[in-house]
């Protein structure tokens, strides 16, 4: 599988995985690889796989959440958060990941895409945790002071949608 990530185009890898779904667990495992590039590419493939066939990685949501909580690679975070945004809310319910998303939203050291996906992740869970609305609003207000136009724009849109 690692060779596929290095040598083939993404669409070929995704097509291969559709025809050989038994390889998906190996791909999920590669997102935990010690090499940043390998882990990121594996997460990128998972994202593309999920975009083309939503739910194909659904059996792996618990493992994806564990990877999100343990990885230090922002590329892996970005791709796997995007995958989890497509999951039903009840499958995303993890207090530790929710806490991490709050921290990522306000951290200027975290890349824009991870921060933006974290905002959406928390926003989507607010109906389950209405008591977090004030903390979330505060986090978004902090994000409005960010230098990034993308972070400011998403924070502003989400803030205006909060009741």
**pLDDT class of 49 with cuts at 50, 70, 90:** very high
CA distance 116 to 101: 10
CA distance 6 to 10: 10
Which of 141, 145, 142 has the alpha carbon at shortest distance from 159? Answer: 141
Q: Which residues contact 151 (CB under 8 A, 6 or more apart)?
A: 112, 115, 116, 143
Q: Of the ranges 3-7, 67-71, 144-148, which is most confident?
A: 67-71
**What was the pLDDT predicted at 9?**
77
CA distance 160 to 137: 10
Which of 91, 85, 16, 83 has the alpha carbon at shortest distance from 56? Answer: 83
């Amino acid at each position: 599988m690692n060779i596929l990530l290095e040598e083939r185009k993404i669409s070929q890898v995704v097509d291969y995985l559709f025809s050989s779904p038994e390889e998906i667990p190996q791909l999920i495992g590669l997102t935990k690889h010690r090499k940043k590039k390998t882990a990121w590419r594996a997460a990128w493939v998972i994202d593309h796989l999920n975009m083309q066939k939503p739910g194909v990685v659904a059996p792996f949501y618990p493992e994806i959440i564990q990877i999100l909580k343990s990885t230090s690679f922002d590329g892996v975070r970005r791709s796997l958060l995007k995958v989890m945004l497509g999951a039903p809310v009840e499958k995303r319910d993890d207090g530790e990941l929710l806490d991490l998303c709050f921290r990522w939203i306000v951290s200027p050291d975290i890349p824009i895409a991870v921060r933006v996906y974290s905002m959406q992740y928390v926003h989507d869970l607010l109906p389950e945790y209405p008591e977090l609305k004030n903390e979330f609003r505060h986090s978004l207000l902090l994000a409005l002071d960010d230098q990034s136009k993308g972070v400011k724009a998403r924070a502003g849109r989400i803030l205006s949608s909060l009741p």
